Structures are given as structure tokens and as C-alpha cells.
């Protein structure tokens, strides 16, 4: 019977996966320029490896997060180092300020095609586990934390949220402002752009060269 998957084991499996996959010459991905196709290939391969070794629920990116069980609650993101970003479903404006509500496991690869062997090599240059409390927008949380520290009032916070085009109506913005004053947000480390879907950018995490509680750099080959 397969053992239960834990966050610690998930991190260890992700690191091992990056190391082993970086050595593979992949014929299937040669010439593929569609980042989504590469990402889906990697996600499914990693999920299959987890499923073979552990007892855990595998979700679907179309229906929700990839590892939805309460004790794991992690979405898998795969992106190229050339533009380390992806999209995720928009739930509410609160996500930009207080986090997405789930953890992220972010694989960042550098794809190199070899015309001689007609194979592609995916060199995983970065892999990070980002705890849910760190998944808010960096600049927004930084500024809001400063404003609370500087004794901003409700109107100040609402004005800032309006200025930043936080996608919410006036009632919601007031509720958010009250929540921010009562419970200031934790410093986030993503860049989250407003859209019909959130656009998540990971460059800050990829380039992170200091220890931050809630962010585990499992693979880090990016030159600073």
C-alpha cells in the first residue's frame, strides 16, 4: 500500500524530479514552442510519479488545483525561464492581498533543442515551493503593510485600492480595507496582474537570494 504524501515528501519528490528530468533527451518535445504543451507534459509526468508512489488526490488544472487534498492543497505551475509566469483562476480580489488560498509548486525550465539528435533537453533551473501565505502580490502587500504601520485610515486604504484598480466594487473595497486594518496582510512574493484570470509572475521568487519563511528553493541554478 502506498504511503501518504506530505508537504515534506512533495518537496523532496519535486527536487528529485528536476534533477532526473534535466538529464533526459526528450524526442517528444523537440521543436515544441508552445509553453502550455511543455507545461502540461511536465505536470502530468510529475503527477504520475506521485500517484505511483503515494496515496494522494490528483486534481485537474481545468477543474481546480492539481493536488487538492486539505493537507497538501498545492497547485503545480510549469514555466520557461524566458518568461516565468502563468495564469490562475480569479476567485476574488482578496487573493491579490491575502494570497491565493493554496500553495504553489513552481517548476522553471530552460528548454534547449538539439538539432543533431532531434531531442529537447529541459534543464530545470529553478523549483520553488511557495506556501499559501506568501502567494499575494509583492508590491500591493508591501505598500499596504507600510500604510498600516504609518497609521493610515479606512479612506486611505480604500483610495489606494481604487488607485491600483483592485477588481472589486465599493462595498467589497470597504470590507477589504477593514480587514487590512484589522489583520495586515503577510508580505507576498508574487507579481499578480489584474485580468479575467490572475496573471502570476515568479521572477521575484526565482531571483530570491535570501531566506524567507514560507518559500523553499528546491532547485536554484539561476545566476544572480
pLDDT at residue 211 in the model: 93
**Mean pLDDT value of segment 201-221:** 94
Domains and CATH numbers, the chain: 3-84+102-135+209-220 (3.40.210), 138-182 (no CATH)
Confidence of residue 35 (pLDDT cuts 50, 70, 90): confident
Q: Which residue has the higher pLDDT, 126 or 59?
A: 126
The pLDDT tens digits of the residues spanning 182-191 come to 999 999 999 9
Q: Is the pLDDT of residue 180 over 80?
A: yes
- Please list the alpha-helical segments (H only) found in 22-169: 35-53, 94-98, 138-149, 154-163
Pairwise CA distance, residues 29 & 40, whole Å:
11
Provide the 3-class DSSP secondary structure of residue 43: helix
The pLDDT tens digits of the residues spanning 74-101 come to 999 999 999 999 998 889 999 999 999 9
% the chain with pLDDT above 70 = 96
Q: Is the pLDDT of residue 22 over 70?
A: yes
User: What DSSP string runs through 199-215?
Assistant: EEE-HHHHT--S--TTE
Average pLDDT value for the chain:
93
Provide the 3-class DSSP secondary structure of residue 77: strand
pLDDT at residue 60 in the model: 67
pLDDT at residue 61 in the model: 56
The pLDDT tens digits of the residues spanning 48-77 come to 999 999 988 888 655 579 999 999 999 999
Q: Is the pLDDT of residue 1 over 70?
A: no
pLDDT at residue 197 in the model: 79
What is the pTM assigned to this prediction?
Answer: 0.93
Pairwise CA distance, residues 113 & 90, whole Å:
34
Amino acid at each position: 500500500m502506498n504511503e501518504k504524501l506530505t508537504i515534506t515528501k512533495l518537496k523532496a519528490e519535486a527536487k528529485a524530479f528536476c534533477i532526473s528530468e534535466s538529464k533526459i533527451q526528450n524526442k517528444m518535445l523537440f521543436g515544441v514552442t508552445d509553453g502550455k504543451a511543455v507545461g502540461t507534459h511536465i505536470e502530468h509526468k510529475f503527477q504520475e510519479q506521485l500517484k505511483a508512489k503515494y496515496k494522494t488526490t490528483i486534481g485537474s488544472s481545468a477543474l481546480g488545483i492539481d493536488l487538492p487534498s486539505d493537507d497538501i492543497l498545492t497547485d503545480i505551475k510549469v514555466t520557461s525561464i524566458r518568461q516565468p509566469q502563468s495564469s490562475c483562476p480569479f476567485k476574488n480580489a482578496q487573493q491579490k492581498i491575502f494570497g491565493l488560498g493554496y500553495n504553489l509548486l513552481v517548476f522553471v525550465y530552460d528548454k534547449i533543442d538539439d538539432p543533431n539528435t532531434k531531442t529537447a533537453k529541459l534543464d530545470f533551473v529553478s523549483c520553488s515551493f511557495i506556501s499559501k501565505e506568501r502567494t499575494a502580490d509583492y508590491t500591493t502587500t508591501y505598500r499596504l503593510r507600510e500604510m498600516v504601520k504609518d497609521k493610515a485610515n479606512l479612506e486611505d486604504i480604500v483610495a489606494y485600492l481604487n488607485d491600483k484598480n483592485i477588481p472589486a466594487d465599493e462595498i467589497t473595497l470597504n470590507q477589504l480595507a477593514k480587514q487590512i486594518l484589522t489583520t495586515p496582510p503577510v508580505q507576498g512574493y508574487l507579481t499578480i496582474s489584474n485580468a479575467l484570470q490572475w496573471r502570476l509572475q515568479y521572477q521575484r521568487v526565482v531571483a530570491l537570494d535570501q531566506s524567507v519563511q514560507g518559500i523553499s528553493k528546491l532547485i536554484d541554478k539561476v545566476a544572480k
